[in-house]
Structure 1
Amino acid sequence: MRDLRYFVAVAEELNFTRAAERLFVSQPALSKQIRRLEDDLRVRLFDRDKRAVTLTAPGTALLPAARDMLGRWDQAQREVADAAAAEASVLTVGLSTSVGRGLLGAVRDRFAERRPGWRLRMRQINWEDASAGLASGDVDVAFVWLPIPAQDSFHLRVVAAEERWVAFREDHPLAGRAEVDFAELLDEPFLVLPHSAGPLRDHWLGTSHRAGRPARIGATVANADETFTAIEEGSGIVLLAAGNAAIYRRPGVRAIPVTGLPPSELAAAWRRGDERTAVRDFVDALPTVP
């Protein structure tokens, strides 16, 4: 099923890079799996050159059947997950960073009112998966920073909109300022998310506000602990949301507001087509942003 899912993504995108971003995998890994599928089927599914990717006749024949099998398999997984969650009375929530802001406590209380006897199980997901486990089906709902790859595949409800800050090592020349304009940071080395994070990686680099100037990459980080270590080692600086500034208040690190950038948005996300009542009760328990 994984190989078929990879095949369908490439067939629909006709671009290995975009398909890899959609699947939250590296392009080499995706290419390897497609070659493996072609070897197993003993056919060539795609014609590739430097300019384009096109389906072969066997690939064209496989596509509708693959879509049908994946659709039926996804439906079966949803039914199994729904039955398992109902039996265990658990809803799994994906997180990629500290949610804070009093959100989890408020949601737990409201969810408990709607679902007595149920509990929310939190699952921490590294930043390679910007969907916090939602795209892979490892969680039922997730808190994510926007934008994320394949965002149209999910329902989203924004629960917080916050200004962006920046974290430095405490001996950085700008660390003593009350705030800093983003234009002053353009030549700084930045800590970045993995490539699989796609548009979210660009968001935390401020790419759309660099006027075409490429970012300097200090290091790639996959979770908060790696970020703290990289800052303390002087590998680079990092943008963050104002609501997460508190977790950067530690010896050796300083965080201040950044001007010249639009706010970041934290959203609850769930898969399109997921009509389970437990998921709906979770969504209804979320606070609304004024």
Structure 2
Amino acid sequence: MVMTTDVHVRDLRYFVTVAEELHFTRAAEKLYVSQPALSKQIRALERQVGVELFRREPQGVVLTEAGAALLPHARRVLAVWAEGAAAVEEARTAQRSTLVVGMSTSPGRGGLLPAIRSRFTVTQPQASLRLHQVSWEDPTAGLADGDVDVAFVWLPLPDADRYAWTVVAEEPRLVALPETHPLAARAEVDFADLADEPFLALPPAAGPLRDYWLALEARGGTPPRVGAEVASTEETYEALVAGLGVCLVAAGNAPLITLGGVTTRPVRGVGPSRYALAWRREDGGRPLVRAYAEACRRATGHT
């Protein structure tokens, strides 16, 4: 007996039920289908396998030799399919109960992530959190592509109307520069004295965030000199040490790059940075997104 490849799970389920009931009417009732429809499907299955599976008799039906041979295999296929369907449902449930948190660098800031996690798990004990690191080329930290559910980002965001956010921290922008730089001798630097300096820039894909960290708003229309493009904390540090340029950095991120040979100074003439937890507006009603945003507000005192 040669099986064709287009036998459906439904056909096998119908076959097994008739084989167990040995009565088309009872099998149809059990399957919630009409008896004529069930008979039609069984005949179609017999045509597909090229042999009779049941012998019709006045008292009901009996399995043929071919039907009896097929029955244990059909049961095994149905059991495996049921296991597969259960695995899919388990994965779907896990997906619904997992919140993916995007970031380009660790938020740090006095144990912010553990503080949010502890508050989140109080209200969502069955949920799990997964952190997703994203390149600086994506200023939305995965939100735009749908790779994450919420993300720690720097404002401003591109396509800002797509997102909602809660501000995590508002911090002064400092200038990071080599310790040997002449301006490093000052306690504070006026941005006007930095205007002609080569700056380290985010990749062009960062859009308005690149412009923000180049402080275009403070340049009076004069374009910046870009000494190098950087896409990570490590690249930033190496470029600073190499003297390729200076850069603005949020006060909370200064410890990440002042490792040796690099220092930071306060800057007059530029506004503070804003670090935020953001999410897509259409996801604002999702329970896990709402719960994480609320945990973030409580952890940062922004309730």
TM-score by shorter chain over 0.5: yes
Write out the 4+ residue segments of structure 1 that deviate beyond 6 Å after TM superposition.
Answer: none
One-letter identity of the residue aligned with 1:202: D
Aligned to 1:277: 287
Identity of aligned residues (%): 55
Q: For residues 1-290 of structure 1, what are the structure 2 equivalents within 5 Å?
A: 84=92, 86-87=94-95, 89-101=97-109, 102-274=111-283, 275-287=285-297, 288-289=301-302
In the alignment, the residues of structure 1 paired with residue 92 and residue 294 of structure 2 have an alpha-carbon distance, to the nearest angstrom, of 22
Matches of 2:238 and 2:183 in 1, distance apart?
19
Cα distance change on mapping 1:289 and 1:181 into 2, 3 Å: farther
Q: Residues 215, 107 of structure 1: CA spacing in aligned structure 2 closer, same or farther, 3 A cutoff?
A: same
TM-aligned CA deviation for residue 230 of structure 1: 0.8
Q: Superposition RMSD on alpha carbons, in Å?
A: 1.9
Alpha-carbon distance in structure 1 between the residues aligned to 2:204 and 2:148: 22
Gaps of at least 5 residues in structure 2 are 1-87
Tell whether the 8 Å contact from 1:85 to 1:91 is kept in structure 2 after alignment. no
Tell me if structure 1 keeps the 8 A contact 2:236–2:257: no
Q: Deviations over 1:209-231 (max 9, x none)?
A: 11111100001111111111111
Measure the CA separation in 1 of the matches of 2:152 and 2:258: 22
Q: What do residues 55-89 of structure 1 show as CA deviations (whole Å, max 9, x unaligned)?
A: xxxxxxxxxxxxxxxxxxxxxxxxx9xx7464574
- Mapped contact 2:137–2:203 kept (Cα < 8 A): yes
Match of 1:5 in 2: none
For residues 186-232 of structure 1, give each alpha carbon's deviation from its aligned partner in whole angstroms, at most 9, with x where no partner exists.
Answer: 00000001111111111101101111111000011111111111111
**Under a length normalisation based on structure 1, what TM-score does the superposition of the two structures give?**
0.69
Q: TM-score, normalised by structure 2?
A: 0.66
Higher relative contact order (CA 8 A, sep 6+): 1
Once the two structures are superposed, residues 143-194 of structure 1 have per-residue CA deviations (whole angstroms, 9 ceiling, x without a partner) of: 0000011111011111111110011111111113222111110000000011
